[in-house]
Amino acid sequence: MKSPGNAVSDVTSKAAAKRPAEPSVNQPRGSIRTGGRTERVRLLVANAVLDALRNGNYFFDIKDIADLTGVNKSTIYRRWPTRVALISEAMKEHNSQIQIVDTGKWRSDLLCLGLNLRSFFSNPTELAFNATLAMSNDPDRSAMADQNWAPVQERLEQVVERAKARGEIPQDTPGRLIMSMLTSPILSQILLGKSLPTDEMIARLVDLLVKATAHPD
Amino acid sequence: MKSPGNAVSDVTSKAAAKRPAEPSVNQPRGSIRTGGRTERVRLLVANAVLDALRNGNYFFDIKDIADLTGVNKSTIYRRWPTRVALISEAMKEHNSQIQIVDTGKWRSDLLCLGLNLRSFFSNPTELAFNATLAMSNDPDRSAMADQNWAPVQERLEQVVERAKARGEIPQDTPGRLIMSMLTSPILSQILLGKSLPTDEMIARLVDLLVKATAHPD
């Protein structure tokens, strides 16, 4: 699985360097305009929570987040009444890095998504989350991971639904399975094979998926 | 990814209960007949090393293995001069659980393999190895993992080669990628989704792979 000079660590350090805080395009709860104070607070808090989670600290104290961000504790409590709400906000921010573009074509939608997933899965925070999840036997934690992944899963499956709506693929194409056949080989190579899938590998994967989902003649 | 009553832990505990020591069909180095003393020693030692590795102890002492198994230290040294040789023997034993049958047909070869991989990846030792590998940033350890997986990879790709030889799939079918598209969705669901792929999921996966590798009309 190794290809020299193509190690994940090279890439993840670059990803880490440019990670911080482009403002998210997701709708911040209660915000008036993107980039405003409410959005700034949301990003500060979300990133502080992501830091805690990346360090395996699921039981962080809301006071710690207040201290780290300089955001008033009561402001945090008002907006995110529970630790679960905070984690959910943080994961939403984290998962918003998966950009799903609508190119209007099944093949190019899959290709863009594959390339984007390669960046996402090699992000150091995502690597840490997946490693922790792999280690975990805690049903609460895996339930939480499932719950945080569900909205992403839904966005991924919409790519399949769009292709169905355009008549490009059969109506009975199993969306979740096809998306797993795209994401899992990329994720496994990064998480376990410790190398980055090449552009060519991703293109071949997409070709095979396009063929697998072609209409019967 | 969750499906109730289908949790991995249910199955892995059963797998653990029946794990010990059916004699391996792999050729034991220097052994005369399967089931003889040499083979018994090999199995004892391999399982003791697997225990150490499962507990994350990569730096076990050969003396510990001797104490645990009752096998003489000099016997161990003579047959496995280094810790790497011991680990390699243990991993060969572990990986021999992946049975690759030759049904003479591409589809049924894939189906048998998919079902077998579901058992293998939900084995507690394999779960522990993959979790450790996911956590690891140690290049030595990942190189070792690669090296121990390489013979399995080769056996998996032979399934593709056989289908090519029978003319069932095109000569340019990418063996490694196709095998990753079979193994990774199964592995990810078990390791990260914490649930077992159903028979139906595996059958649909195989159908998609058969379609993806069909001859162009």
Confirm or reject contact between B63 and chain A (CB < 8 A): no
- Rounded distance, CA A65 to CA A67, Å? 5
* A42-61 per-position pLDDT tens digit: 999 999 999 998 888 888 98
pLDDT for the residue numbered A33: 53
Q: Which domains does chain B have, with CATH numbers?
A: 25-94 (1.10.10), 98-212 (1.10.357.10)
Quick check: B146 and A170 in contact, CB under 8 A?
Answer: no
- Rounded distance, CA A167 to CA A161, Å? 10
Largest CA distance in chain B: 63
CB atoms within 10 A of CB B68: 16
Which chain A residues have a beta carbon less than 8 Å from that of B157? none
Give B193's contacts (C-beta < 8 A, 6+ positions apart): A146, B1, B2
Quick check: B197 and B189 in contact, CB under 8 A?
Answer: yes
CB atoms within 10 A of CB B92: 19
Confirm or reject contact between A169 and chain B (CB < 8 A): no
- Rounded distance, CA B55 to CA A92, Å? 34
Computed over every residue of chain A, the mean pLDDT equals: 87
- Rounded distance, CA B171 to CA B164, Å? 6
**A109, A125, A148, A151, B85 from A91: Cα distances, Å:** 24, 11, 6, 10, 43
Instruction: List b or e across B39-55, with b for residues whose CB sees 16 or more CB atoms inside 10 angstroms.
Output: bebbbbbbbbbbebbbe
Q: How many CB pairs under 8 A join A and B?
A: 95
C-alpha dihedral (B83, B89, B90, B94), degrees to nearest 10: 150
CB atoms A185 and B184 under 8 Å: yes
Q: What would the mean pLDDT of A155-179 be, rounded to a whole number? A: 98
Quick check: B160 and B178 in contact, CB under 8 A?
Answer: yes
CB atoms within 10 A of CB B35: 10
pLDDT for the residue numbered B142: 86
Confidence of residue A74 (pLDDT cuts 50, 70, 90): very high
Q: What would the mean pLDDT of A14-20 be, rounded to a whole number? A: 41
What token pair was written down for A214? 């072609």
Burial of A30 (0-12, 13-18, 19+ CB in 10 A): exposed
CB atoms A187 and B184 under 8 Å: yes
Give A42's contacts (C-beta < 8 A, 6+ positions apart): A28, A29, A31, A79, A89, A93
Q: What would the mean pLDDT of A185-213 be, rounded to a whole number? A: 97
pLDDT for the residue numbered B1: 41
Quick check: A189 and A196 in contact, CB under 8 A?
Answer: yes
Reported as half-sphere exposure (CB side, CA atoms, 13 A), residue B65 has a value of: 30
pLDDT for the residue numbered A78: 95
Per run of 10 residues, the mean pLDDT along chain B (length 217 residues) is 46 41 44 72 95 88 92 95 92 94 97 98 94 90 89 96 98 98 98 97 98 94
CB atoms B204 and A177 under 8 Å: yes
A159 has pLDDT over 70:
yes
Confirm or reject contact between A188 and chain B (CB < 8 A): yes
Q: What would the mean pLDDT of A146-174 be, rounded to a whole number? A: 96
pLDDT for the residue numbered B17: 43
The residue that leads in pLDDT, A186 or B35, is A186
Instruction: Name the DSSP letter for residue A34.
Output: T
- Rounded distance, CA A179 to CA B38, Å? 48
**Three-state SS annotation for chain B:** CCCCCCEHHHHHHHHHHHCCCCCCCCCCCCCCCCCCHHHHHHHHHHHHHHHHHHCCCCCCCHHHHHHHHCCCHHHHHHHCCCHHHHHHHHHHHHHCCCCCCCCCCHHHHHHHHHHHHHHHHHCHHHHHHHHHHHHCCCHHHHHHHHHHHHHHHHHHHHHHHHHHHCCCCCCCCCHHHHHHHHHHHHHHHHHCCCECCCHHHHHHHHHHHHHHCCCCC
Which chain A residues have a beta carbon less than 8 Å from that of B177? 185, 201, 204-205, 208
pLDDT for the residue numbered B7: 52
CB atoms within 10 A of CB B90: 25
Q: What would the mean pLDDT of A181-189 be, rounded to a whole number? A: 98
Confirm or reject contact between A195 and chain B (CB < 8 A): no
Q: What is this model's ipTM?
A: 0.83
pLDDT for the residue numbered A142: 86
Taken in order B191, B50, B68, B140, is the CA torsion positive or negative?
negative
**Phi/psi of residue A72, nearest 5 degrees:** -60, 135
Q: What would the mean pLDDT of A178-187 be, rounded to a whole number? A: 98
| Closest to A11 in 3D by CA, of A195, A207, A134 | A195
Which chain B residues have a beta carbon less than 8 Å from that of A149? 1
Nearest CA in chain A to B8: A137
Confirm or reject contact between A217 and chain B (CB < 8 A): yes
